Structure 1
Amino acid sequence: MPKYRDTLPQLSADRTSPFITDGGMGTTFIYRLGLSLPHFAAFTLLETAEGEGVLWDFFASYAQLARERRVGILLDTPTWRASADWGEKLGYDAKALERANLKAVEQLLRLRSEYETEAAPLVISGCIGPRGDGYNPTRPVGAEEARAYHAAQIETFARSEADMISAMTLTHGAEALGMVRAAVAVGMPLVPSFTLETDGHLPSGESLGEAIALVDDATGGAPPYYQINCAHPAHFRKVLEEGGSWLPRLRAVRANASDKSHAELDNATTLDEGDPEDLGRQVGVLSTLLPGLVLAGGCCGTDHRHIAAIHGVARG
């Protein structure tokens, strides 16, 4: 039985500050290490001992930061692209994807055994991504289609020792709903994480409140909480200031280092790492707007400097 599946420690009333996360995996590997990640698929690194070592070093560096800071950390498996459509593009059939998803969890289990302390619990989250392009979606995915499509990856994580699932960079509410329904069917906690454009809306045009309400109303509030990722605080601060009945359900943020739009980032040839200290300050402002914040970390362009700065302000 997974260690934390039934009692996610980031939700504990005893925590003294939000958990942290790792930084931007894909941007670190591509821009800082010069690696090739076809279709932004980091899970392919698990195919070689060298690639496994790259992943281990990446995760271990953040686990060490958490241990030094005496703060909990959530680490997502590098499996954002490890689903059927993307797997087909990469030459992976269903069995190969299943092996990759399980191997990704097993690596983090080994890392947890080495780095976790009582003061720095380590939560393992199986990461899934949208069926389409999270940066430039071409068509909406309906709830039933999403449930059927994502069920295989979700069921694999349910059989593993992952504590939870993070559904990252979601572009519309219906796909999130389908994912949650698939997770409920196998008793797995799943946190939908929406990406937002510079106007604070999902790429679908939905407001954040509309997307959260869609999922909560249809599932009886099944997700433990909701998250924003792959967006800069400047893009959605106003949305949080305006608030709404949905606001207490938003309890996690993984911010981009850059305040550029998705289109600008998608076409960039160099890394925009922004200003780590300024990002920390901006996330600190968000933490005052989200008193129930349980997770504050980084997404594209972020590294240890950004995570350290975020923890420095988010802990209060």
Structure 2
Amino acid sequence: MKPAIIMGTRPEIIKLAPVIKCLGRRRHYTVFTGQHKDYNMGRLFMRQLGLPEPGYSIAPRGGPAARTGHMIQGLARILEEDRPDAVVVQGDTDTVLAGAVAAVRCGIPVFHVEAGLRSRDWRMPEEYNRVAVDHLSEMLFAPTKSARSNLTSEGVHGRIVITGNTAIDAVNMYAGAAKSGRPGKILLTLHRQENVDDRRILNSILRGIVMSGEEVVFPVHPRTADRLQRFGLYKMLERAPNVELLDAQGYLEMLGLLQGCLFVVTDSGGLQEEATAPAIRKRVLVLRKSSDRPEGLGDLSTLVGLSDTAVSRAIREAAQNPRLASRSYPYGRGGAGARIARFLGA
């Protein structure tokens, strides 16, 4: 089998790296859609993870709708020219949707890594993407039993296999090369559209961070940096004595921040997974109304919500007892990349 592995954002690069590494010299090629145009959010991650240059690249233009259409067109041309036996996509981004639609229209089966996640929150564009792609896929690599249950309850037609989560593989592979972090500080990340594109919500979250008074390090996603400037909120953070602002970080730098932090405050799904890895094991406060990673809720992560008082209170309480007592590994302890690669290497 010769699969085409399509990726376009930082999470996809990270989570597909273990699959690509496990494939080794077996026939495959990669396509980079350029959905994350910023070097620190895309190509830097490939270089740090030791991945080969993509066989093909696309430079999409315009807003979300135009960009997705442009990616479908570009991917269709590539797939028609170099007919792979399968198209592999990961997660729930616009790249994943574009890759799946292009593959189906070219008569090529779709293999979906991290299939079956559901938040039931239709404010999230990712929810539309992941549901559509799961129903377009012939092979669904579900990371957990909960994800498999979602797929079976929806009656997807493809074959479902539980694999574990490749995010854990990535941490296992690269934690030893992590850069030095900010020991003793709380790690904050924010990037989700439903949080950062709404001035009221973003302002509420940030007020809660500042009100907590706890020492926070905040690597700022390019999308979030743009909204902070647009909404006039950057100065509030620059003046806050408890917030250290950083530019967007590479993967090895983020691993260092994860290893050194007290705990994590985030709206990221990937960080919720990475924090449970054997080399990390950190508590997570989730800045969302619902979670598509229910397996970790309770002992490992806590849904905080979006109000300033709830965010501030949760941070202060966690700072009193940041230690993670749970010994569970809801996303596995590794090996997902090898399991998936076995289906691609036939």
The reply to whether TM is greater than 0.5 is: no
Larger radius of gyration between Structure 1 and Structure 2: 2
The normalised TM-score by structure 2 is 0.33
